[in-house]
């Protein structure tokens, strides 16, 4: 059974491994640690103590920014991302957040469809948002809560 809990400092390495294996331009481990230290909120989905996915967001009332979400490749399309988004949405509502923003690679059609299924709307294009080995524009999306 899937269990959602708050991201703990002891989860950072396992979350980083998922990030590195699923993202073409992953955050560094230092990015994960810094995000945790500055107070971003994180959720993890585990089964039998093994992390299957995570989500990190930054609430700045009355809005929040979904910074990162990733699910093990072997566990994708099994509802884990949906579960993480639902828990984030519940937490945001409890904190008085009324809108959630995110950026997604313009070529990531699977992720865009996932976010749209949850009610996120396309807002704008951020040109050359993603740099590094795979530079690309980002689609800015938002969800009214």
The pLDDT of residue 65 is above 90 = yes
pTM: 0.92
List residues bridging with 124 in a β-sheet: 140
Among 107, 98, 144, 142, which residue's Cα sits nearest to residue 122?
Answer: 142
Which tokens in the block code for residue 85?
Answer: 């988004």
- In the DSSP assignment, the letter for residue 28 is P
pLDDT band at 96 (very low <50, low <70, confident <90, very high): very high
Catalytic residue status for 127: no
Catalytic residue status for 19: no
- In the DSSP assignment, the letter for residue 9 is G
Q: How far apart are CA 63 and CA 47, in angstroms?
A: 30
Rounded mean pLDDT, 35-55: 95
The active-site residue, picked from 16, 19, 103, 136, is 103
Q: Which domains does the chain show, CATH number per domain?
A: 3-144 (3.40.630.30)
Q: Percentage of residues in the chain with pLDDT exceeding 70? A: 100
């Amino acid at each position: 059974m899937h269990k959602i809990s708050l991201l703990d400092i002891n989860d950072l390495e396992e979350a980083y491994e998922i990030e590195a294996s699923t993202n073409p331009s992953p955050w560094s481990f230092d990015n994960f640690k810094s995000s945790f230290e500055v107070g971003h909120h994180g959720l993890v989905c585990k089964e039998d103590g093994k992390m299957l996915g995570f989500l990190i967001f930054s609430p700045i009332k009355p809005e929040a920014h979904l910074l990162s979400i990733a699910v093990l490749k072997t566990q994708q399309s099994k509802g884990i991302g949906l579960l993480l988004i639902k828990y984030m949405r519940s937490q945001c509502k409890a904190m008085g957040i009324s809108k959630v923003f995110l950026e997604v690679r313009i070529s990531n059609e699977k992720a865009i469809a996932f976010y749209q299924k949850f009610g996120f709307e396309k807002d704008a294009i951020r040109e050359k948002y993603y740099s590094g080995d795979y530079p690309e524009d980002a689609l800015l999306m938002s969800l009214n809560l």
